[in-house]
Amino acid sequence: EVQLAESGGGLAQPGGSLRLSCAASGFTFGTYAMGWVRQPAGKGLEWVSSIGSSGNTHFANSVKGRFAISRDNAKNTLSLQMNSLRAEDTAVYYCAKRGYCTGRTCYYHFDYWGQGAQVTVSS
């Protein structure tokens, strides 16, 4: 059974930093792309960042230059380092697994989700 468990959320001051982790199990972590999606309270979902199986990274414009995504395939762990935090970064952050490839066809959806971690940026 695929399981994703976020940790590391909490309260940070504007301009501060937080690091989220996502422990993955139930699948061969190193062979799948992974991502982070966030949701401010009462608002919609927003894609934040993705990392491919080879380590290539991508970021939404809203976090580019402030956030970094990484993975440790030996520990089956995905991380999101969040620096220069702003009030508008306050949200629940979900870890999500990307879809799969079969033959020459790849599927780019998010097929499994964690329960989410709350990040609050406030003075």
Interaction site with another protein (CB under 8 A): 33, 35, 37, 44-47, 50-52, 56-58, 60-61, 94, 99, 107-116
The contacts of residue 34 (CB under 8 Å, 6+ apart) are: 22, 24, 50, 51, 71, 78, 95, 96, 97, 98
Shortest distance in whole angstroms from residue 77 CB to another protein: 19
Shortest distance in whole angstroms from residue 71 CB to another protein: 13
Distance (Å, rounded) from C-alpha 72 to C-alpha 104?
Answer: 26
Shortest distance in whole angstroms from residue 19 CB to another protein: 20
